[in-house]
Amino acid sequence: MHIPDGYLSPSTCAVMYAGAGVGWYAALRRVKRALSARMIPLIAVFAAFAFLVQMFNLPLPGGTTGHALGVTITAIVLGPAGSILAVSIAIAIQALFFGDGGITTLGANCFNMAIAGSLVAYGMYRLIGAGATLGSRRRVVAAAVAGYVAVNVSAFLAAIQFGIQPILFHDAGGAPLYAPYSLRVAIPAMMAGHLLVAGVAEAFITAGLVAYLQAADPALLRGAYGPGADSDASIPLTTSSLRRLWSTVAILLLVTPLGVLAVGTAWGEWSPHDLPGTQAHGELTTSPRTPASLSIPAGLQRLSTVWTAPIPAYAPVFVRSAFFGYILSAMFGVGCILAVSLAAQMFLRRSRTTDSPQ
């Protein structure tokens, strides 16, 4: 679901950056009052959680892979605005350092997964769980349904963005310039795996975490630190709450090597020379998910080199073991999120000191 550089035209990328920019601005304004010493650690821990969850690749139909997003539990605890920021941070680090998603397509990826995903997840959870007590089973069911729907809405948006490229952007001979897959190919190919596997994974993860928090730390489920909080949300964030959350992140970090067990690449995330159905791929494929024969689209080839990630595919060049390299990449990614969190806290303290009356 992480769209690489080259698959979307520059104009599509600009439109999606504009849409994401509106979402980021609204989210920042929304959480401004809550952006305190307590809110920033929560955003950091859930950004780390989303980052790690998305490293667990799952085998999908057709020989490709996919993953859950971690956006639903983030939206439930932080509210949609906090979730937009947390998941966007995770996606940005994935693109910048690991080449998981592109730089030109960062706006599209954040719009699909962080913004649309957060809004849909939170809206579905609130709608289905309305009137239910905090510890009720209906809240768990609401979390599962919200996770399933949010992942599939995000996947559908990505499929639409793929599918409109050959319609809108092609050369004089009709050859696609960017993503070569029509809507008739992109939608079924993208949705099959997410409807059957990735959405189910998000549903189970979210339902399990909500059930756990109902017993262990219900204060976090009150949405006390996110906009749109329940009216009875008044319990402050405690050190033990953060310790539980970071313990969960630590466990995920230690088992991230399981994410390399799934064989295959996510649909639509191929490099130009690995693009199925192209002449550069060697033996042409004619499966339903790819056109019968293509040359590498010129625009895709050109934009694919806009950014070279220092640790592509979560595989440091100096580490021979894929498992060890994966866990090192996970540690580095979480470290980056912590660094961003500390920088935000320092900036917040400094700005408040400057604004305070002398």
Contact between 329 and 317 (Cβ < 8 Å): no
Is the pLDDT at 236 greater than 80? The verdict is no
pLDDT at 265: 87
Residue in 277, 302, 303 with CA at minimum distance from that of residue 288: 277
How far is Cα 192 from Cα 58, in angstroms, rounded to an integer?
Answer: 13
For 192, the enclosing helix (H) or strand (E) is: helix 183-193
3-class SS at 255? coil
CA 315 to chain centre: 20
**pLDDT at residue 292 in the model:** 43
User: What is the per-residue pLDDT for 104?
Assistant: 98
Can you tell me the distance from the alpha carbon of 244 to that of 41, in angstroms, rounded to the nearest whole number?
A: 13
The pLDDT of 327-334, averaged and rounded, is 97
171 pLDDT more than 90: yes
First to last CA, the chain: 51
Rounded Cα distance, 137 and 214, in Å? 10
Work out whether the CA dihedral 121, 126, 132, 135 comes out positive or negative: positive
More confident residue, 126 or 34: 126
**Mean pLDDT value of segment 296-319:** 94
Q: In whole angstroms, what is the distance from residue 80 CA to residue 85 CA?
A: 9
**Which DSSP letter does residue 237 get?**
P
Could you tell me how far CA 89 lies from the centroid of its own chain?
9
Coil vs helix vs strand at 119: helix
Q: Classify domain 10-355 at the CATH topology level.
A: Arp2/3 complex 21 kDa subunit ARPC3 (1.10.1760)
Report how far residue 47's alpha carbon sits from residue 87's, in angstroms, rounded to the nearest whole number.
Answer: 5
Residues 17-47: tens digit of each pLDDT? 999 999 999 998 888 766 655 688 899 999 9
Total residues found in the chain within this entry: 358
Rounded distance between C-alpha atoms, residue 40 and residue 192, angstroms: 37
**64-120 pLDDT per residue, tens:** 899 999 999 999 999 999 999 999 999 999 999 999 999 999 999 999 999 999 999
Residue with tokens 């304004």: 29
Q: Is 137 helix (H, G, I), strand (E, B) or coil?
A: helix
Average pLDDT value for the chain: 88
Q: Label residue 144 by pLDDT band (50, 70, 90).
A: very high
Of 9-13, 64-68, 285-289, 329-333, the least confident: 285-289
Rounded to 10 deg, the angle between the 137-163 and 117-129 helix axes is: 150
Lowest-confidence range among 66-70, 125-129, 280-284?
280-284
- Environment class of 165 (CB within 10 Å of its CB; exposed 0-12, middle 13-18, buried 19+): buried
Q: Give the residue-averaged pLDDT of 203-217.
A: 95
Coil, strand or helix at 39: helix
Highest mean pLDDT among 197-201, 230-234, 268-272, 276-280: 197-201
User: Does the structure show a pLDDT above 70 at 313?
Assistant: yes
